[in-house]
Amino acid sequence: MTFKNLSHYIDEYKKIQSASADNTMKKFKVAVLSSSTIKGLKEVLTVKCHDLGLFPEILLGEYNQYNQEILDDESKLYRFEPNLVVLFIDTRALLGDVFFDYYTLSAQDQKCLPALKKEYLDSLIARMKFKLKAKIIIHNFELPCTTPLGILENKQALGLVEFIETLNGDLRDGFKSDSQVFVFDYNSFLSNIGKREAFNYKMYYLADIKIDLSYLPALADQYLAYIKPLISMTKKCIVLDLDNTLWGGIVGEDGAEGVKLGPTPEGRPFMEFQKYILSLFSRGVILAVNSNNNLDDVLEIFREHPYMILKEEHFASMKINWNGKVANMKAISEELNIGLDSFVFLDDDKFNREMIKSALPQVKVVNLPEDPSLYLEVITQLDDFNTFQITGEDMKKGQMYAQQKKREEFCKSAYDIKAYLKGLNIITTIQKANKFNVPRISQLTQKTNQFNLTTRRYLEEEIKQFSDSTDCIVFSIKVEDRFGDNGVTGAAIVKKKAKEWIVDSFLLSCREIGRGVEEVMLAHIFEEAKKEGIGRIIGEFIPTKKNEPAKDFYQKSGFILTEKVGDMELWSRDVAGGFPYPEFIEVIKAS
């Protein structure tokens, strides 16, 4: 991997300072605290975010002031109120004199060190967790590659290297089930670059630089992998070309038996590329095909080729025709009901890539290298599928989209919409916000555009605050039908006032619209309001470019437009009389 020079980023940074922020994007703040000089990182990170259309506020802590920043209640860090904090303490700073004096210590003192250091780090993290709602990223520690004991290093009771290893292991284990704290494997990051390459002694002695300036862009990329899920900028679907992408050669010319795929030097890169894509499918990434080919040729490979790893059942959509890549891409987006900004496109052909890039700039187009032996390296570097937590919905997403195919076929065979909905045997489960569905509710507020009445974007920590408050009701809805489980696809946030309740957020994934689920959600709100003797429900509606499908919802549901505040419409309906649940849907209320 090559990176642009630091000066390039600093130059770009100055240029974008005047640019205006895209106001539909969720605002977020990142703080980086470090024990060594990482001047320039702010500029790099800002430029890299800007390239993705993001305008974060970034606070770079003063050099080696992380202790004070964390311990002082009035510090810049706490006044800044970041959404993400990176704590980057390097091995030399953590150990101080012990870095050199380790082997002058008694075995007893050495033995105490891992727990002592872990305790210290825990106390810093605990302080931040107490003061901040932010996600916290802590670097683990670089393992030294040389020690004074040389080949006897690992014959010690607890050698220096083993001490750091132990500390890294304890860090990992300590935060394994912590949804707020993430350990960044800085040691592996450095190994990947080469530790001798990353550490420049002269720069270290001159300015306490412990990672060479030229690798700050690489480090910023690592932080981006955490920023993307923070704002739910997660890709959902990989769209694949076939010839020279999933196999070597062109099936139309070389025949199914002539393509390169299998345990040979030329075939293995494609086979392993497919295996990696299959593992992405298993973590919930949706797959689709976009290929200019004859369908029969392709199906022969999918069905007959002994080393074809990916099968038809793994793909939610297959566009194999001569309609052109751009048209196919749009068709896949419509068929799966996923926005173009959720797609990653993989194609060996530069011309096709450029075409997609210019026609559909929302799609992430990966530059596959000319040499197929490098495909795997490129795809393993993608950091677009990260989430802070793999939700149940995420894991099953590939499967769910395959079920949707069957659902649509059933719709075509039903007489009318009512019979269709009845025949679906929909079961909905309403669940108050809890620690399991909060990440999903936040994700829904950030990703749902069409059936979203106010399009208010909330981070996980904000949803948690609402649900902890007694003045708020936050719930999610899970939908199942005869074809399978769609998972949690809707949510609402209701703010309680003395006489009336205000629907702050009300949203439903677009693939559920028009099946009565939105009525279930509304009926639930009315039911709860009635129990508490509330007079009326006020529904807020804020029009956007994308939420046309939700425009008439309150009107159709018997609400009356009472007021307009700027763009926002306020709709009202009395609670007396209630709002009926649809007949054909079973409603379960989970405790």
Partner 1 sequence: MKKLKSILSMILEIEESSINDQTSPDNVESWDSFNALMIVSELEKEFKVRFTMDEVTAVKCVKDIKESLKRHGVLLQEE
Find out whether 365 and 345 touch, Cβ atoms under 8 Å. yes
DSSP secondary structure, 28-57, as one string:
-EEEEEESS--TTHHHHHHHHHHHTT---E
Q: Where are the beta strands (DSSP E) in 103-176?
A: 135-139
| Closest to partner 1 by CB, 213 or 338 | 213
- Distance of alpha carbon 275 from alpha carbon 26, whole angstroms: 35
The piece of 8-16, 127-135, 178-186, 537-545 that touches partner 1 (CB under 8 A) is 8-16
Q: Closest approach of Cβ 142 to partner 1, in Å?
A: 20
206 lies in the site for partner 1, by CB under 8 A: yes
Distance CA 164, CA 410 (A): 59
Distances (CA, A) of 285 to 385, 397, 448: 7, 7, 18
Tell me the residue length of the chain: 591
Number of residues counted as binding partner 1 (CB under 8 A)? 18
Interaction of residue 62 with partner 1, rule CB under 8 A = no
Give min distance, CB of 69 to partner 1, in A.
21
| Residue 286 near partner 1 by CB under 8 A | no
* Residue 6 sits in the site that holds partner 1 (CB under 8 A): yes
Nearer to partner 1, 39 or 305 (CB): 39
Binding mask 176-205 for partner 1 (x = CB under 8 A): ------------------------x-xx-x
Q: Specify the stretch interacting with partner 1 by CB under 8 A; choose among 158-166, 207-215, 242-250, 418-426.
A: 207-215
Burial class of 368 by CB neighbour count within 10 A (0 to 12, 13 to 18, 19+): buried
Residue closer to partner 1 (CB basis): 155 or 202 = 202
Sign of CA dihedral 386, 392, 394, 396: positive
Nearer to partner 1, 4 or 497 (CB): 4
First to last CA, the chain: 50
Q: How far is the CB of 195 from partner 1 (least distance, A)?
A: 16
- The only residue of 115, 145, 207, 390 in contact with partner 1, by rule CB under 8 A: 207
Between 200 and 555, name the residue whose CB sits nearer to partner 1.
200
Q: Does 213 bind partner 1 (CB under 8 A)?
A: yes
**Residue 301 binding partner 1, by CB under 8 A:** no
The Cα 287–Cα 293 span in angstroms is 18
Q: Smaller CB distance to partner 1: residue 203 or 378?
A: 203
Those residues whose C-beta lies under 8 Å from the C-beta of residue 17, and which sit 6 or more positions away, are none
Instruction: Show the binding pattern over residues 15-44: x = contacts partner 1 (CB under 8 A), - = does not.
Output: ------------------------xx----
Count the Cβ atoms, other than its own, within 10 Å of residue 125.
21
Contact indicator for 441, 473 with CB cutoff of 8 Å: no
Q: C-alpha distances in angstroms, 104 versus 17, 94, 114, 116, 590?
A: 52, 18, 17, 18, 61
| Cα–Cα distance for residue pair 350/426, rounded to 1 Å | 46
212 binds partner 1 (CB under 8 A): yes
Cβ closer to partner 1: 216 or 441?
A: 216
> If binding is defined by CB under 8 A, does position 47 make contact with partner 1?
no
Nearer to partner 1, 62 or 101 (CB): 62
Q: Considering beta carbons, is residue 148 or 194 the nearer one to partner 1?
A: 194
* Contacting range for partner 1; rule: CB under 8 A; set: 209-217, 245-253, 344-352, 523-531: 209-217
Residue ranges in contact with partner 1 by CB under 8 A: 5-8, 10-11, 39-40, 200, 202-203, 205-207, 209, 212-214
